[in-house]
Structure 1
Amino acid sequence: MKEENDIKETRPEANKKPSAEPPHELLDLTVGGVKKWAAGVPGVVASVKDLIGEKTLLRGGKALFKMNQFDGFDCPSCAWPDPDDDRSPIAEYCENGAKALAEEATTKKITADFFKNNSVYDLAKLTDYEIGHLGRLSEPVYLPKGGTHYQPISWDDAFKKIAEHLNGLASPDEAIFYTSGRTSNEASFVYQLFVREFGTNNFPDCSNMCHETSGFALSPTIGIGKGTVKLHDFYDTDVIVIIGQNPGTNAPRMLSALERGKKKGAKIIAINPLPEAGLMGFRNPQQLSGVIGGGVNLGDLYLPVRINGDLALLKALELLLLDFEKKSPGEVFDHEFISQKTVGYDAFIKQFDHYRLDDLAAASGVSTALLYEAAQLIAFKKRIIFCWGMGLTQQHNGVDMIREIVNILLLKGSIGKPGAGACPVRGHSNVQGNRTMLINHHPTAEQLDRLQQVFGFNPPRTGGYDVVNAIKAMHAGKVNVFFGMGGNFLSATPDTTYTAEAMRKLALTAFVSIKLNRGHLIHGKESLILPTKSRSEIDMVKGEKQFVSTENSMGVVEWSKGMLKPISDDLINETQIVCRMARATIGNRTVVDWQRYHDSYDAVRDDIEKCIAGFEDYNIRVKQKGGFYLPNAARDEQRFAKQFNGRAPFTLTTVPENTLAPDEYLMATTRTHDQFNTTIYGLDDRYRGIFNERRVVMMNEKDIAQAGFKPGDKVDLFNYDDGIERVAPLFIIVPYPIPERNTMTYFPETNVLVSVNNVVKGSNMPASKYVKIKIKKHDPDLPMRKASTSR
């Protein structure tokens, strides 16, 4: 890792552009054994190691004791809920949460002098890991047109620059306003209010890349685009099915809930192309048995589904359940629930006249014996929870897969009952709250009508751009300004080369951030970086300590109050950034009292209460211990889709035919254990036994031999969607227990292979878990040729 003073300036020629991708360099890969359990002492050690690495052992260690506590601050990592009742005073967080805190509680900081000494071009030569560990952004900086270095700028001048560009647009729709899931409820609300008063619904947000598919699938069926379970439902249930999700890495605190359910008799079925450690075992570091004992074996049954075999697998389970029902009428299906709460049952059942178990098993890649065992675990149980993640939502038919899960829950009557329901496991903390706060490119007429009633302006009624359409609009020259409220848009999005070309066409890019990332280095003709306070830092406004609120995966809204001294005196909180931007841009034309919001988050919450259902007495209830649940008619009343008079429709779906050329493979992108979204904490994937390297492609041993490769071979990866050659050069083959003709790679390194047109039908999300690739022996000249084409 290069220290700040070790990065030497090499002023680039004018025609060179910073790389949009991490450096194509290999480190010293070490491959070990695949782990069969997660967490435990190694997780604690890794957490402490990160605090030391960020030079924040005392500062960050102190904050850890307040993270996710009733009187503390919300973890900036995943959106898994905190317990409603007792919370561990020692460690109510996971390893990744500790790493996320270490990143923002670091004592290292980036000043304007750093940017003076390091050009954008030179910074882009660093790996994402190196960029992320340079420190906290501490003052606003500006990159002028034709400039090579960011330079300091005052906050007032930064807002004037934004206002100048926004007011100079031919139409408000020529601006895009991106949102990351980390943004609080209060900041999200004022952000959408400003953008709609400005005149557009262009709200691409991170949910467009993670769980848009879930909302699109659930809303027309169960009447709400959210899950239908509470955390305590996991503690007393019969069966938990985890499909397309890796809780050990993506939501480690979920393992504690699975452990409690397991100890009370729940059976756990894991469905995933990879045998993940967190799906098999758990050593709870909060308990003595997890420290010196063997922990808990979680998974009762593992189904190694092939990529995009999930729908065939779900159909096979339904076919087997139907067979059980025929043999034991009324004991498998909940006919009272079906008759009173659903529509379309007869047509749904009729389809199985045309399915054969052997065909479905072959399409899924799972044996009939394992499918039968899974169906048997489910058949005579009513309390069933289905959990899923991006392993489903990012496949091209992900909407159908989730609706097939709903079909099974409807057959069993397993929605709106204790210990039963649907559970999309959201990624980023408060990504669900952003959507509740109206960060939505397609708001409903009712939502817009309410804003108009409360504020007196007519919000735009035309739908805006999601992430994929925003990229295409930027590339086509239809957009001139990009404003990013957090996140790393470039590295999170698909088709990296295409997206970088789109970003470079913009007149202005502006990013609200706490850390530097690669997205800041692929910019418009002018660019701003606006540093903000982190969730763990004290937020004082007019001498009063403020708090924010967030919504977790299960609809709980809870307060979050920072306790660390801000890393810099020149930081502004997100809400004030929005308010000052609004005043500078809209000026005397505004009908909103932005100063009132600027000075008090209570005032923001008072107006959220007026605009959004479920937030009655917001400022009172959010201060209650554990916060409050938002209404959920599907969960609380078994009231579902409005268009079906409160009933839930069964959905008819089609099993896809997946065909590959002889030299093609299906690739799915995934994250390492040392990573959260695009943030790289380290270079190890401890649970999968892959150390000190990210440029790897996991392949089945039979595929390796059949293609004439060997483990450790260097290869290049290619995608040819849309008739375009996309290349990810210089990867190392790692043998792994994965279905044949399937491969796994890490993102963002292979996002370059995901076509912007490879999307989920309906939700328009990037289908990053379904990418056809070819693997060729590494051409040593390829990285050089590829770099030359990006200049």
Structure 2
Amino acid sequence: MAHELETDDRDVPGVEPYDGPAGGWGALKAVALAIKEQMGASADTRALLQMNQPDGFDCPGCAWPDPKKTSSFEFCENGAKAVTWEATTKRVDPGFFAQHSASELLGWSDYALEDAGRLTHPLRYDAATDHFVAVEWGEAFARIGAGLQALADPNEAEFYTSGRASNEAAFLYQLLARAYGTNNFPDCSNMCHEATSVGLPKSIGVGKGTVTLEDFDHSDAIFCIGHNPGTNHPRMLTTLSDAAKRGVPIVVANPMRERGLERFKSPQHPTEMLTPSSTQLASAYHQVKVGGDGAMLKGMMKALFEADAKDIDAGGEGLLDRPFIAQHTVGIEELRADIEATEWDEIACRSGLTRAAIESMAETYWKADRVILCYGMGITQHSYGTANVQQIANLMLLRGNIGKEGAGICPLRGHSNVQGDRTVGITEIPSEEMLARLDKRFGIVSPRAHGHNAVDALAAMRDGKARAFIGLGGNLAVAMSDPETSFAAFRKLDLSVSILTKFNRTCLLLAKETIVLPCLGRTEHDEQATGSQYVTVEDSMSMVHASRGKLKPASPDLKSEPAIIAGIAKAAIPDVAIDWDGLVADYDRIRDGIEAVYPDFRDFNARVRHKGGFRLTVGASERVWNTPDGKAHFLVHPIKGASGEARELLLTTVRSHDQYNTTIYGLNDRYRGVHGRRDVIFAHAEDLRDLGLAHGDVVDIHAGPGRDLRGYTVIEHAIAKGSLAAYYPEANGLVALEDHDPESGTPSYKSVRVTMRAAA
């Protein structure tokens, strides 16, 4: 199952095959290098041993849950990189900004900007000198307050949130924005799993996954579609490895061969580390064409319906879970008619898979009593991402694989609290029930009109309808599609505020007033008026648990995110009678507020103090469907995405192994055999030959007027025919702001129609 490059004899600088498994000594070497580069020889590595431990802090990287029985260390290579990146000894202090002008820094790479180190002081941009200069916290808050008060309408402000924000920070942030008068909450989830949040409630009544980590111990088959755990959620590899060792089939559908879905050597298992052995993960690997997932899913359902009919004709009971369907669902006949009307030729053409391959996937599915289906942004980041998610729900409902032990849907979230911040109010479409409870608790009158998501926010900024941006973490301008539009939109603002641990490019897209506020990181001790504080996060399986930073803060001038939010609130809405200082003095009071607004957080402070925390209610896990009619719904969609035309090329953006979202830890992508560079295009050998190109050629990629990647090196790779891949965020310029899912607003990063030719 190796995916070595099938190249000609040409040597391409920085490109060579990787033969090892995921994990192993390569992972340990990378961790050691990250510690050395960021923390130095005298590094305080206690942070790594405290990560994902009951009395420690939650990994600032992915949202994979913690096991109930933790080991001596519960971190992966990329989690270690995230911690060393935050706990670095490097500093960007006032002296740094005196030495480097904003114009100079704008020419630095995204990697170099963040690699410079941790922010130490509040900053504002001084246009007279073209430098960022240090300001006192009081002045920074006053300037922000004045800027927000100067707006003609509260809806001219955009309140962005990164999924790294804690529940406590996110709750205070939404309280600030709603007390100010807007529901404009562009959020990082708008760019990743919004299709899940929008699509699943219509299917099964909840916009979250339905499984727990323990369900993987009882599953009979696991499907992995459109995700790469080796890079994006490496701790999942241990779970998959354990399942593979007990004989559970793991079926993969992904356009690229990813080592993290093929073989794994666990750094925590001495037997594997000291021998040549590793664990084979995928029992079957199907390279679906980029954009072909919906067709593949329809094919699996078609094969299931056909096999079900044959079984009944032979005197069997059929393969569908008819009692479950009858009791819990509606819409089965409409789905059956749609599937029967879909021809196999179209399915095979659009998916890039043979009928036999799809039937084999379906057979594994129907032979298993308990199935877990995991999916990532390869499913959601399309103009039809919501439809893809609902097709997954359809497939799982046909055999009752939701709401029983060892079975369910598992969306793989990104940042560690991207799910939690939505749970506690970061949403542009709040319910009336939630707003009524918020207003009663805090004595405010929240706006009822729906606000902006990320695409809406950028469009409003572009059109001059939004004049202020407050960013709680993240790097929105770089993360969003269409950087030409995004960058210009930020530069039109009256006020831009970024709350960050590290300086990034969004800070350099200068508004009339640009302010950068440095905050504590997840690893750092948080001391407030009543003593040491902790925060809480929600993982991708709805477990809520505490996170306690232990390291000394990078600077005595840092404030926590809740303290910064309170400072902005007091300056911007001084007449609102909320005791912001009291809330920040003791985070238990913030959690009391969360409990009052969200009944599922009952006894919040008591329950979260228990080791491992507690799980929020997920109705579908108990076969309670919180839909208008109390039923799960089969939903019908036509096949969208790849057309199947012979010369069509669809490009997907991907993350490298030295990367987490927009944060670039280094310039290597070890498992794909790329080193010291990111200017590459991954392509199938036959597509290159058809275009008269060869491995190592320099090419231009064109996606539409003004949307190009020029001078990239194309390399042969084990990727589905008709598919290309390039790194995010460099390839974001190929995606227009208008290229998004109309239902969820998610940009179409994973299916960009392009042409490729030799560089001009």
TM-score band w.r.t. shorter chain: over 0.9
- CA 1:425–1:60: 2 relative to 1, 3 Å: farther
C-alpha distance in structure 2 between counterparts of 1:523 and 1:213, whole Å: 32
Residue 774 of structure 1: CA displacement? 2.2
Alpha-carbon spacing, 1:663–1:403, altered in 2? closer, same or farther (3 Å): closer
Q: Distance in 2 between matches of 1:156 and 1:371?
A: 62
Change (3 A) 1:370 1:658: closer
- Aligned match for 1:623, one of 591, 609, 613: 609
Identity of aligned residues (%): 40
Contact 2:384 2:641 in 1 (8 A): no
Match of 2:565, as an amino acid?
V
Contact 2:349/2:644 (CA < 8 Å) preserved in 1? no
Unaligned runs of 5+ in 1: 1-26, 780-791
- Matching residue within 622, 625, 629 for 1:640: 625
1:476-625 mapped onto 2 (5 Å cutoff): 476-542=463-529, 544-587=531-574, 589-625=575-611
1:682 Cα deviation from its structure 2 partner: 0.9
Deviations 1:697-749 (A, max 9, x none): 111112212222221122222221xxx32222221111112122210000111
Q: Is the 8 A contact 1:60 1:101 kept in 2?
A: no
Secondary structure in structure 2 of the residue aligned to 1:563: coil
> 1:94 corresponds to which letter in structure 2?
C
Q: Does 1:380 align with 2:364?
A: no
Q: Which moved more, 1:70-79 or 1:649-658?
A: 649-658
For residues 334-376 of structure 1, the C-alpha deviation after alignment (integer angstroms, 9 at most, x for no partner) is: 1110000000112211223322323312221011221122111
User: Which residue identity lines up with residue 612 of structure 2 in the other structure?
Assistant: G
Counterpart CA distance in 1 for 2:128 and 2:458 is 23
Q: Once the 2 structures are TM-superposed, how far is the Cα of residue 753 of structure 1 from its aligned partner? A: 1.2
Letter in 2 for 1:238: D
Please say which of residues 199-208 and 652-661 is displaced more in the overlay: 652-661
TM-score with structure 1 setting the length: 0.92
Deviates more, 1:51-60 or 1:41-50: 51-60
Tell me which residue corresponds to 2:727: 746
Q: Is this contact kept in 1: 2:292–2:641, CA < 8 A?
A: no
Deviation (angstroms), 1:331: 4.4
Q: CA, structure 1 residues 56+344, in 2 after alignment: closer, same or farther (shift >3 Å)?
A: same
Secondary structure at 1:642 match in 2: coil
2:352 paired residue number: 365
Distance 1:365 1:272 in 2: 11
Identify the residue that residue 8 of structure 2 maps to in structure 1.
none
Provide the secondary structure at the position in 2 that maps to 1:744. strand
1:403-442 equivalences in 2 (<5 Å): 403-442=390-429
Equivalence for 1:275: 257
Determine if the alignment matches structure 1 residue 305 to structure 2 residue 285.
Answer: no
SS in 2 for 1:315: helix
Partner of 2:95: 113
Report if the CA contact (8 A) 1:244-1:388 is conserved: yes
One-letter amino acid matched to 1:323:
E
How do residues 303-382 of structure 1 correspond to structure 2 at under 5 angstroms?
303-329=286-312, 330-382=317-369
Give structure 2 stretches of 5+ with no counterpart.
1-10
Structure 2 SS opposite 1:419: coil
Q: Secondary structure at the match of 1:76?
A: coil
Q: Deviations over 1:133-169 (max 9, x none)?
A: 1010000110034651101111000000000110011
SS in structure 1 at match of 2:639? coil
How far residue 659 of structure 1 moved from its aligned partner, in angstroms, is: 4.3
Is 2:741 aligned against 1:760?
Answer: yes
> Does the CA-based 8 Å contact 1:56-1:102 persist in structure 2?
no
Distance 2:51 2:394 in 1: 38
Which residue in 2 is equivalent to 1:30? 14
Residues 657 and 41 (structure 1), Cα distance of their counterparts in 2 relative to 1, 3 Å cut: closer
Q: 1:121 & 1:717 partners in 2: Cα distance?
A: 29
What SS does the aligned partner of 2:522 have?
coil
Aligned with 2:124 (options 123, 139, 142): 142
The 1:146/1:612 distance shift into structure 2, 3 A limit, reads: farther
Query: Is 1:227 aligned with 2:213?
Result: no
Conserved in 2, the CA contact under 8 Å of 1:144 and 1:525? no
CA distance in 2 between counterparts of 1:553 and 1:202 reads 24
Provide closer, same or farther for how the CA distance between residues 660 and 410 of structure 1 changes in structure 2, counting only shifts above 3 A.
closer
Cα distance, 1:211 vs structure 2: 0.4
Q: Is the 8 A contact 1:51 1:60 kept in 2?
A: no
1:42 maps to what in 2?
A: 26
Q: Is the 8 A contact 1:245 1:391 kept in 2?
A: yes
- The question of whether the paired residues in 2 share the 8 Å contact of 1:56 and 1:105 is answered with no
Counterparts of 2:680 and 2:237, CA distance in 1: 27
Rounded to whole Å, the distance in 1 between the matches of 2:307 and 2:23 is 38
- Matched residues, number: 745
Q: 1:207 aligns with which of 189, 208, 212?
A: 189
Task: State the match for 1:186 in structure 2.
Answer: 168
How far off its partner does 1:235 sit? 1.5
- Counterpart amino acid of residue 593 in structure 2: D
| 1:325–1:579 CA distance, 2 compared to 1 (3 A) | same
CA distance in 2: counterparts of 1:634 and 1:756, whole angstroms: 34
Tell me which amino acid in the other structure corresponds to 1:338. Answer: I
Mark the CA change 1:268 to 1:112 in structure 2 (over 3 Å): closer, same or farther. same
Offset at 1:322? 1.1
> Contact 2:350/2:643 (CA < 8 Å) preserved in 1?
no
Q: Say whether the 8 Å CA contact 1:324–1:379 is kept in structure 2.
A: no
CA separation of 1:565 and 1:543: change in aligned 2, threshold 3 A: farther
- 1:246 aligned onto 2:222: no
Question: Per-residue CA shift, 1:97-141, capped at 9, x if unaligned?
Answer: 000000011111010111111011111222222112101000011
CA contact (8 A) 1:441 1:464 kept: yes
- The 8 Å contact of residues 48 and 57 in structure 1, kept in 2 or not, is answered as no
Contact map agreement 1:28 1:693 (CA 8 A) in 2: no
Q: 2:111 is aligned with what amino acid?
A: Y
> How far, CA to CA, are the matches of 2:159 and 2:341 in structure 1?
47
Greater alpha carbon shift after TM alignment, 358-367 vs 755-764: 358-367
The residue number in structure 1 matching 2:246 is: 264
2:106 corresponds in structure 1 to 124
Q: Which amino acid aligns with 1:320?
A: A
TM-score (norm 2): 0.96
